[in-house]
Every structure is written in structure tokens, then in C-alpha cells.
């Protein structure tokens, strides 16, 4: 894992001539640190990064809330058609995203959401099946004695979910956070389809736009891609402790 | 836990406000739209184009000038990276939301034309443009004889060669008398292995080539010019029948395969050892390339000492230069008013010297207007003085890449088979026969 990253880092510090040279020249000479500055000058990276951040943060919040609520309902509450509804939710996992593009596009067009950031995060607030499944399994693993104890203390179902169950699922919430963050941060297809004005672009479009149809100057692309990796690393570092702690303490304390 | 609670509440609020502002913005802009068209009779058009790096700014600048010259037309743009642009466009066409005018890669014009997305521009072109003044109008003509697009800039193929490498090997520079055979002979002298032995040397080690005679990539800058100048090709004149399994194509493919086996031409696996398949020539690892005009940008960037010449002749003296005329297309589904405004933009682009000159200065494409292309501005521009006249001379024997509505599909079938030959996995005869069947099936599926 380390070697590709290192080679990307070195590539990002080369001139185009060194980048294309044969045999491969591993160590840039001199190090072109200005490539990184050039990238910022070439495109509105800050705008793109801000847009990406808005989309990603809203998506993560939406995914955490909606998936945990729906997952809790499927795991802990009793209501009619529960089983068949859950099978339907899982069934939607099997629909390839490509076939949904055009209907979704038409729906968002009628809602007036084209060329806004809304279509990019709103879907996450509607409980994506993968997250629902993940959270349901997490809630199922918790002994139902907690449920009974909470009821005795006078909790409503929502309070039980919010105060008792959710805090016990931090590892799964951390997983969902990283998963959603990564997909949304790197997503390219949906932003391209829904966004038209440049000031709404997210990072992946911005980075790809730099390359153009004819003229690569790929070293700038590599530099930009590396910079866009940073937030993912940060999120991973922040959520990592929940993985470790969570894995050892789930269930009864 | 309390902290998380408040955090979530806050973000909930944030979300609500984002949602509300999202909605209200939208409502405002839509009333604005309605107001403008009725009161001041300003036509709003949407213009789509794919990004080409730094050229985007120039496009926006030219659009501004256009708006100043046409105060009754308001242009909003949308752009996206090349590949994603066309994915988006297909979705938009399906959702009836495509731009009123968009820039199409030359090879995709027929796809939009034959699927009814592009407006027939024949009448407008005949009444508003003097056709002799422009390069490439005919390259977009459909097999029905109608025009569906107007070129924005033209890519045409020529032979690029590295002068320093020719000098070092003591080989004369290419000129218009060259045949593909001569190119290979010169290429053999220009191909070097790890011990600096040339491809003519009996000791030559083709596993350790460090300098190739000719880099060979894909269709435009690879097999298509060779096939066509040997008298072969892929499709018939109507672009509905495959001609792949012919003697001429066999001869051409044998020429290519022989060059690859001797290490003079790069084969597909050689190209994989480069950071980018485009890099052997600009990095000075190949002495020659078949290159479209835009390749001067990368060659200038690395600063190699190079020049260009017309592509070599085939055994019967035929020549062929591949052409891609990237073009403006007007949306068939736009209202008459918008379509006319879109046409104003297209007309502005090709007729105005000013626009043509500014675009030519970027050096991405051969200008569409002949007077500008033949002026000093194009011929003597750029960091290196190269023989740009070669590109203009090539128009005499230029042709398209047999582009039709299913170009991308048949190309994939052909390439799969061609690659197998180039990698030595199958014989030329078998591959051509197989490709012929597969390509014909693609054509039949669409046209019947």
C-alpha cells in the first residue's frame, strides 16, 4: 500500500518531462513543490473542496440518522409486514445504480434540484439499504434486557433508541461514517450529471477538468488527487479509536 | 453523549436551513427566467462543452464577447470533464434537458445525428456560410447528405519526427515522397536496444528496446491511416457494411505486425510500460509518431527538437490523413427561438476572425476558417517553428475515421481483435475474419 502512495507523491513533484521520461526517473530533480501551488492557481480548488465538504458532511449526518432509525425499527420494533419490508429494502441493493440515473434525473429536474448540491446528499437522508442493514445487525446483537430495563425506567421507544442503543453502536456508526464519507467524497457520476455551473463543482470534477481532452500534464492531476486524499485520512484517524474500543466492548459492559 | 445529542440537533437545523434556502433560491431563479423572456425578449440558451484544461477560460471569454455583440442572447454554460460530459449529455438527452448547443467530439456527431438529437443545419449552412471558406464542413456530413454540425476546431493527422534522433542515426528527415516501407526502413535504423544496436543488427535484442522507431497508438494515431493508405479500411461508403476482411487490410496489418515483431513499432504491451500511452514521443523515447495537431502541445512542453511532415504513401501511392472535426451541435428539441440563438453562436464562432484567431492562439486545433488557418498567426505561431503547412496540405487526402452512429461500438470490436494480432496471440487472417463478423453484427443490429 505504501509503494503506490510514495510513487504518486514523487510523481506529483516532477516536471512533465521527468514524468514521461523513460526509463522511469524515480526521484524528481529538482523537487517541483510549486506543482501544488500551480494546482491551486489553475482551478478553484477551494470552492470545489468546500462544495465537497458540504455534500459529504450532510450525507454523513443523513446516513447516520436515517440508517440508524430505520435499522432500529427493523431490529427492535414490532409492526406489520416487517419481514417483507426488510426483504424489499435488501432487494433494492440489487438494482444497479446505472439504471436509476435517468429516472432520478427526471425526478430531481421536476423538484427543481438541478444544478444545486441537494441531489448529492438528499438520498443519504432516505436511509440507504446498506446502512440500514449494517445498523439492524448492530441493534440485533444487543441483548433485549436493555430494552426491558429502559421500559421499566419509563423510556419511550425513541428515548430507548437514542439514549440506550445508539451509544452502544459506535463502531458501526464509525464504519458508516467512513463508508459514506469515502463514497461521497470520491463520487463523480452524480455530481457531473446534476451540476452545471462551475462554482458548484465538487473536487473530483474539478480535478478531472484540469486534464482536458488533449493535454495531460498529469503531474498536476496526481498532486490534486493527493491533496483530495487528506480529508479521508483525517476522518479515518478520528474514527479509528471507535473501531478499536467498540470491537472490544460491544454487548454487555 | 450529551455533546453528540446537541451536535446532531445543530446539524439537523443546518440541514433544514440548507433545504429551505435551496428551495427558495430555486423559486427565485425560475421566476426570473420567466420574467426575462416575456418582457425584454432576451433569449436564454444553454451551451455545453467538455473541459480542455486551460482552454475553458478562453471559451468563457469568447462567450462574453458574444453576449456583448448579441445583447438579446443570454448564454449559460455547463462543462464537465471529457468522458463525464458525454455521460451527462446522454442522460440529459433522455431527460429532455440537454443544452441548446453543445460541443461534440467529431467522432460522436453521427451518433447524435442518427438518433435524432442533433438538428439538421443544412439550410442554415447553405444560406449563412460560404462553404468554401471553411475546413471540415463535409467531415460531418451524414450518409444522407445533410449537415448536423459545424466544426469548432479540427484535428488532422501528420507524421511527427524527432530531428535530434534522426541526426544521431544519420537518417534523412521524412518528406512527402516517403512510403510506409521507407518509414519502416528508417525506423529500423532509429530503433535501439539496451546496447545501442539498431533493429537492422542481427544481434538486436527486441526485449530491451530503449528507443522505438515509431510509436503506434490506437485508431487515429495507429492502424487507421495505415489501413486506408494501403487501400483498405473498415466500412464502405454508406458506412453500413464492413470491409474488414480484404486483401488490402491483410497487407496493411502484415506491415504493422512485422514492424511490431521487429521492435520498430510499439505494440500495446510496450505502451503499458509508459506512464501514459501518449508519452513515448514527447519524452523522446520514439523517433516518430502519427499525431493529430493537438500533439504539438505536449511536444512543445517537453522541449524536444521535432518537426512534422505529411503521412507516408501506401504501396499504390494512396495517402490518408485521419480527421476529427470537433463540432457544435444544435439541439433538435430546442424551441425555434433558442435554436436560432444557438445558431447565432455557431455562426459567430466560425465566421468571426477575432474568435478564430484567439482560439488558434491556444494552439489546440487547426482553425476552421481557411483564411485564419493560412495566415501567419497559425502557421508561424508557437514556441517552435515547425512545418504547420503539413497539416493544411493533409486536407487534400483527409478522411474521417469511418464514423457512423455506432462508431464506439464497432471500434471496440475491431480493437479487441486488432490487439490480439498485435500481441501475437492470433493470425492476421483469423483476426480480420473475426473482426469482420463482429463489426457487421454491430452494424446490422443498429441499421436493420
Q: In this structure, are strands B306-309 and B158-162 parallel, antiparallel, or unpaired? A: antiparallel
CA-closest candidate to residue A190, choices A101, A251, A250? A101
pLDDT band at A23 (very low <50, low <70, confident <90, very high): low
Helical residues (DSSP H) of B204-283, grouped into ranges: 223-229, 247-261, 268-271
More confident residue, B37 or B442: B442
- Pairwise CB contact (< 8 Å): B87 & A193: yes
What does the pLDDT look like over B105-156, one tens digit per residue?
A: 999 999 999 889 999 999 999 999 998 999 989 888 877 889 999 999 999 9
pLDDT at B367: 93
Residue B9 has pLDDT above 60, yes or no: no
**For residues A132 and B353, what is the distance between their CA atoms, to the nearest angstrom?**
60
Interface test with A, best of B88, B98, B300 (most A CBs within 10 A): B88
| Alpha helices in B70-120, H assignment, sequence order | 82-94, 109-114
Place of cell 454523513: A60
In degrees and rounded to multiples of 5, residue B398 shows phi and psi of -90, 155
Residue recorded with cell 452512429? B405
User: Residue A167 has what DSSP assignment?
Assistant: G
What DSSP designation does A112 have? Answer: T
- Provide the 3-class DSSP secondary structure of residue B44: strand
Where on the phi/psi map is residue B145: left (φ > 0), alpha (ψ -120 to 50), or beta? left
Can you tell me the distance from the alpha carbon of A79 to that of B443, in angstroms, rounded to the nearest whole number?
55
Are A22 and B280 an interchain contact pair (Cβ–Cβ within 8 Å)? Answer: yes
Q: What secondary structure, in 3-state letters, does B158-221 show?
A: EEEEEHHHHHHHCCCCCCCCCEHHHHHHHHHHHCEECCCCECCCCCCCHHHEEEEEEECECCCE
Is residue B37's pLDDT more than 80?
no
Please choose, from the candidates B167, B271, B229, B196, the residue with its C-alpha nearest in 3D space to the C-alpha of residue B398.
B229
Strands (E), A44-134: none
- CA distances B24 to B28, B36, B61, Å, are 6, 19, 30
**Measured between CA atoms, how close is B431 to chain A, in angstroms?**
31
pLDDT at B194: 85
CA torsion angle for A235, A241, A243, A249 (degrees, to 10)? -150
Q: Which helix (H) or strand (E) holds A229?
A: helix A218-249
Q: What is the pLDDT of residues B420-439, one digit of tens each?
A: 999 999 999 999 999 999 99
**pLDDT mean over B61-81:** 92
For residues B338 and B255, the answer to whether their CB atoms sit within 8 Å is no
Contact between chains at A20 and B25 (C-beta distance less than 8 A)? no
Considering chain B, what percentage of its residues have pLDDT values greater than 90? 67
Rama region for A178: left / alpha / beta (φ>0; ψ in -120 to 50; rest): alpha
Distance from CA of B16 to the nearest CA of A (A): 11
A58 touches chain B (CB under 8 A): yes
Query: What is the spatial distance between Cα A209 and Cα A96, in angstroms, rounded to a whole number?
Result: 27
Conformational region of residue B369, where left means phi above 0, alpha means psi within -120 to 50, and beta covers everything else: beta
Q: Are A18 and A28 in contact (CB under 8 A)?
A: yes
What's residue B2's pLDDT?
41
Closest partner residue to B1 (CB to CB) among A167, A209, A214 is A167
Angle at B411 between CA B145 and CA B416, to 5 degrees: 165
* pLDDT value, residue B377: 86
Taking only the tens place, the pLDDT of each residue in B317-344 is 999 999 999 999 999 999 999 999 999 9
Given CA atoms A120, A121, A122, A128 in this order, what sign does their dihedral have?
A: positive
B373 and B361 Cβ atoms separated by less than 8 Å: no
Burial B166-197 (b: 16+ CB within 10 A, else e): beebebeebeeebbbeebbbbbbbbbbbeeee
Contact predicate B393/B310, CB 8 Å? yes
Residue B254, pLDDT score:
96
* Contact B1/A at CB under 8 A: yes
Q: What is the dihedral of CA B220, B225, B231, B234, to 10 degrees?
A: -10
Asked if A104 is an interface residue toward chain B (Cβ–Cβ < 8 A), one would say no
Q: Which helix (H) or strand (E) holds B25?
A: helix B2-39
Among A34-38, A215-219, B131-135, B242-246, the range scoring the smallest mean pLDDT is A215-219
Higher pLDDT, residue B276 or B108: B108
Angstrom distance (rounded) from CA B134 to CA B126: 12
Q: With an 8 Å Cβ cutoff, are A109 and B30 in contact?
A: no
Per-residue pLDDT at A194 exceeds 60 = yes
B167-199: pLDDT as tens digits: 999 999 999 999 999 999 999 999 999 888 999
The stretch A98-117 carries a mean pLDDT of 89
Q: Give the pairing type, strands B209-215 and B286-291.
A: parallel
State the ipTM, two decimals. Answer: 0.72
CB A147 within 8 A of CB A76: yes
Query: How far does A84 lie from chain B, in Å, by closest CA?
Result: 31
Q: Tell me, what's the pLDDT at B7?
A: 44
pLDDT surpassing 70 at residue A211: no
As given in the structure block, the three cell numbers for residue B28 are 427565485
Mean pLDDT of B2-28: 43
In contact, A209 and B81? CB cutoff 8 Å: yes
Q: Record the cell numbers describing residue A249, joined without a space.
A: 466492548
User: Cell numbers of A112, please?
Assistant: 427543481
Residue B424's nearest CA partner among B277, B199, B269 is B269
Predicted confidence at residue A116, as pLDDT, reads 92
What's the pLDDT score for residue A121? 93
Q: Which of B253-262, B320-329, B381-390 has the lowest mean pLDDT?
A: B381-390
Q: Measured between CA atoms, how close is B297 to chain A, in angstroms?
A: 7
Please say whether the beta carbons of A164 and A150 come within 8 A. Answer: yes
The per-residue pLDDT for range B191-232, each reduced to its tens digit, is 999 888 999 888 898 888 889 999 998 899 999 999 999 999
pLDDT tens-digit readout, B21-32: 444 344 334 444
Question: What is the pLDDT at residue B171?
Answer: 95
Lowest mean pLDDT among A73-77, A221-225, B368-372, B432-436: A221-225
| Neighboring chain A residues of B14 at a CB cutoff of 8 Å | 58
For A63, list phi and psi in degrees, rounded to 5.
-65, -45
Cα–Cα distances in Å, from B311 out to B138, B157, B175, B180?
21, 8, 9, 9
Q: Which of the 8 DSSP states describes residue B140?
A: G
Which pLDDT belongs to residue B275? 72
Evaluate whether B146 touches B120 at the Cβ level (below 8 Å): yes
Interface check B384 vs A, CB under 8 A: no
Determine the Cα–Cα distance for residues A212 and B351; give it in Å rounded to an integer.
Answer: 25
- Give the confidence band of B53 by pLDDT, cuts at 50, 70, 90: low
Under DSSP, is residue B328 helix (H, G, I), strand (E, B) or coil? strand
Give B4: exposed, middle or buried? Use CB within 10 Å, 0-12, 13-18, 19+: middle
- Is B187 within 8 Å of chain A by CB? no
* Cα separation, B362 vs B293, whole angstroms: 12
d(CA A113, CA B18): 12
Our separate counts of H helices and E strands in chain B read 18, 11
Chain B residue with minimum CA distance to A166: B1
Which residue carries 432520478 as its cell?
Answer: A104
The whole-chain average pLDDT of chain B stands at: 88
The DSSP secondary-structure symbol of B120 reads: -
Instruction: Please state whether beta strands B150-156 and B158-162 pair in parallel, antiparallel, or not at all (unpaired).
Output: unpaired
Q: Which three cell numbers stand for residue A62?
A: 443523513
**Grid cell digits, residue A177:** 461514517
Q: Return the pLDDT at A212.
A: 56
Cα–Cα distance measured from residue B315 to residue B312, given in angstroms and rounded to the nearest whole number: 10
pLDDT score for B261: 93
Assess whether pLDDT exceeds 50 at residue B33.
Answer: no
Backbone angles phi, psi at B192, to 5 degrees: -125, 140
First vs last C-alpha separation in chain A: 36
Please tell me which residue, B413 or B20, carries the higher pLDDT value: B413
> Chain B neighbours among A 133-162 (CB < 8 Å)?
162
Mean pLDDT along residues B374-392: 87
Look up the pTM and report it.
0.80
Q: What is the pLDDT of residue B6?
A: 43
In the block, cell 498567426 appears at B377
- Of B444, B419, B413, nearest to B234 by C-alpha is B413
Q: Which residue of B has its CA nearest to A58?
A: B15
Q: Kindly determine whether residue B210 and residue A196, on different chains, have CB atoms separated by under 8 Å.
A: no
User: Chain B closest CA to A62's CA: distance in Å?
Assistant: 9
Residue B8 in this model has a pLDDT that exceeds 50 = no
Amino acid at each position: 500500500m505504501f509503494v503506490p502512495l510514495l510513487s504518486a507523491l514523487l510523481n506529483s513533484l516532477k516536471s512533465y518531462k521527468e514524468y514521461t521520461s523513460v526509463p522511469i526517473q524515480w526521484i524528481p530533480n529538482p523537487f517541483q513543490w510549486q506543482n501544488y501551488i500551480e494546482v491551486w492557481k489553475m482551478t478553484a480548488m477551494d470552492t470545489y473542496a468546500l462544495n465537497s465538504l458540504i455534500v459529504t458532511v450532510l450525507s454523513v449526518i443523513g446516513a447516520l440518522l436515517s440508517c440508524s432509525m430505520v435499522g432500529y425499527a427493523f431490529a427492535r420494533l414490532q409492526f406489520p409486514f416487517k419481514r417483507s419490508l426488510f426483504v424489499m429494502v435488501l432487494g433494492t441493493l440489487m438494482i444497479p445504480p446505472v439504471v436509476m440515473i435517468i429516472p432520478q434525473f427526471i425526478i430531481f429536474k421536476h423538484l427543481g434540484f438541478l444544478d444545486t448540491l441537494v441531489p448529492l446528499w438528499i438520498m443519504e437522508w432516505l436511509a440507504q439499504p446498506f446502512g440500514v442493514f449494517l445498523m439492524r445487525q448492530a441493534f440485533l446483537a444487543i441483548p433485549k434486557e436493555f430494552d426491558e430495563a429502559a421500559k421499566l425506567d419509563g423510556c419511550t421507544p425513541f428515548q430507548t433508541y437514542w439514549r440506550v442503543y445508539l451509544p452502544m453502536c459506535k463502531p458501526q456508526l464509525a464504519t458508516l461514517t467512513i463508508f459514506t464519507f469515502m463514497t461521497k467524497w470520491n463520487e463523480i457520476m452524480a455530481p457531473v450529471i446534476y451540476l452545471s455551473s462551475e462554482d458548484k463543482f465538487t473536487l473530483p470534477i474539478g480535478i478531472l477538468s484540469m486534464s482536458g481532452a488533449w493535454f495531460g500534464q498529469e503531474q498536476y492531476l496526481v498532486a490534486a488527487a493527493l491533496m483530495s486524499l487528506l480529508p479521508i485520512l483525517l476522518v479515518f484517524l478520528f474514527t479509528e479509536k471507535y473501531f478499536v474500543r467498540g470491537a472490544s466492548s460491544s454487548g454487555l459492559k | 453523549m450529551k455533546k453528540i445529542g446537541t451536535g446532531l440537533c445543530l446539524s439537523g437545523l443546518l440541514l433544514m436551513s440548507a433545504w429551505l434556502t435551496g428551495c427558495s433560491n430555486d423559486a427565485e431563479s425560475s421566476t426570473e427566467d420567466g420574467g426575462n423572456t416575456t418582457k425584454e425578449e432576451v433569449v436564454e440558451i444553454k451551451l455545453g462543452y467538455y473541459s480542455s484544461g486551460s482552454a475553458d477560460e478562453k471559451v468563457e471569454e469568447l462567450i462574453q464577447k458574444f453576449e456583448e455583440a448579441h445583447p438579446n442572447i443570454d448564454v449559460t454554460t455547463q462543462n464537465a470533464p471529457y468522458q463525464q460530459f458525454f455521460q451527462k449529455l446522454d442522460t440529459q438527452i433522455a431527460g429532455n434537458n440537454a443544452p441548446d448547443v453543445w460541443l461534440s467530439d467529431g467522432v460522436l456527431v453521427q451518433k447524435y445525428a442518427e438518433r435524432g438529437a442533433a438538428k439538421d443545419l443544412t439550410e442554415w449552412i447553405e444560406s449563412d456560410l460560404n462553404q468554401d471558406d471553411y475546413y471540415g464542413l463535409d467531415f460531418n456530413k451524414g450518409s444522407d447528405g445533410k449537415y448536423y454540425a459545424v466544426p469548432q476546431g479540427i484535428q488532422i493527422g501528420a507524421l511527427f519526427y524527432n530531428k535530434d534522433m534522426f541526426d544521431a542515426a544519420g537518417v534523412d528527415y521524412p518528406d512527402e515522397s516517403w512510403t510506409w516501407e521507407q518509414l519502416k526502413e528508417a525506423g529500423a535504423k532509429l530503433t535501439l536496444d539496451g546496447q545501442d544496436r539498431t533493429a537492422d543488427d542481427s544481434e538486436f535484442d527486441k526485449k530491451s528496446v530503449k528507443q522505438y522507431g515509431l510509436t503506434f497508438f490506437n485508431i487515429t494515431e495507429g492502424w487507421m491511416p495505415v489501413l486506408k493508405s494501403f487501400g483498405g479500411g473498415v466500412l464502405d461508403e454508406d458506412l453500413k457494411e464492413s470491409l474488414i476482411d480484404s486483401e488490402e487490410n491483410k497487407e496493411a496489418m502484415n506491415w504493422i505486425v512485422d514492424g511490431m515483431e521487429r521492435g520498430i513499432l510499439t505494440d500495446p504491451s510496450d505502451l503499458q510500460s509508459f506512464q501514459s500511452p501518449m508519452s513515448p514521443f514527447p519524452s523522446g523515447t520514439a523517433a516518430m509518431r502519427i499525431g493529430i495537431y493537438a500533439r504539438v502541445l505536449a511536444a512543445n512542453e517537453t522541449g524536444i527538437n521535432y518537426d512534422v511532415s505529411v503521412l507516408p504513401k501506401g504501396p499504390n501511392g494512396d495517402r490518408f490523413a485521419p480527421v476529427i472535426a470537433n463540432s457544435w451541435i444544435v439541439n433538435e428539441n430546442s424551441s425555434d427561438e433558442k435554436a436560432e440563438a444557438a445558431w447565432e453562436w455557431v455562426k459567430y464562432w466560425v465566421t468571426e476572425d477575432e474568435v478564430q484567431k484567439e482560439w488558434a492562439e491556444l494552439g489546440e486545433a487547426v482553425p476552421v476558417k481557411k483564411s485564419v488557418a493560412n495566415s501567419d498567426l497559425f502557421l508561424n505561431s508557437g514556441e517552435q517553428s515547425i512545418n504547420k503547412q503539413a497539416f493544411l496540405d493533409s486536407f487534400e487526402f483527409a478522411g474521417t475515421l469511418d464514423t457512423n452512429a455506432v462508431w464506439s461500438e464497432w471500434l471496440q470490436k475491431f480493437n479487441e481483435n486488432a490487439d490480439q494480432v498485435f500481441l501475437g496471440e492470433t493470425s492476421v487472417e483469423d483476426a480480420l475474419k473475426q473482426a469482420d463478423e463482429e463489426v457487421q453484427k454491430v452494424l446490422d443490429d443498429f441499421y436493420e
